[in-house]
Amino acid sequence: MERVDHYDIEGIDLISYSYKDDNRGSFSNLAPLGDLFKTFGVGSSLAVSKNPTAGTLRGLHFQLHPFAQMKFVTCVAGSVFDVVVDLRPHSRTYGKWAGRVLTLEDCISLVIPPGLAHGFQTIEPESILLYGISAQHSAEKSRTLSYLELENEWPLAITEISNNDAAGLKLLQCLNLFDERWQ
């Protein structure tokens, strides 16, 4: 599997924002969420992922049609190595992956389209991600790509992982789950 920059994964949008510092701390308006959700098709569901331990791995998750999720992802505390893998058979970046560090200070949010597996590893303890998600979770349609497909690319030793994530599918198994609906 070839690694490419996030800018080169078809359909991923990077949204930059800024924050203001003063003697009280800082303030950032990530974006008018209603406008973002409308523009990018992300639903009104918000989720938070709090991760107390550095080295925690979550993912690489995706859901099948009709519960495929578009995600709006922002790191609001700590730092994570964020990864996406393109599983859409008609995409020019099919089978490729990209990874980048996300922090609050970077002032970047990702909009990840359906058909991409998404996950992250915490680089710092107490890392928190904020998600906007377009579809509800479906246990029946939820799948996980094995983190071992990217084994040599994780920045830290894995300290925490769920049983489900540890037993993820191989890339070829994931690619075979998609059809023409992912054009």
- Active-site residue set: 61, 131
The C-alpha R_g of the chain, in whole angstroms, comes to 16
Distances (CA, A) of 164 to 61, 115, 160: 10, 19, 12
Torsional sign, CA 90, 34, 26, 156? negative
Dihedral, CA of residue 65, residue 75, residue 56 and residue 81, to nearest 10: 80
The three-point CA angle 24-54-1 to 5° equals 120
Distance CA 130, CA 73 (A): 6
User: What burial class does residue 140 get, using C-beta atoms within 10 Å of its C-beta: 0-12 exposed, 13-18 middle, 19+ buried?
Assistant: exposed
Tokens 């989720």 appear where? 47
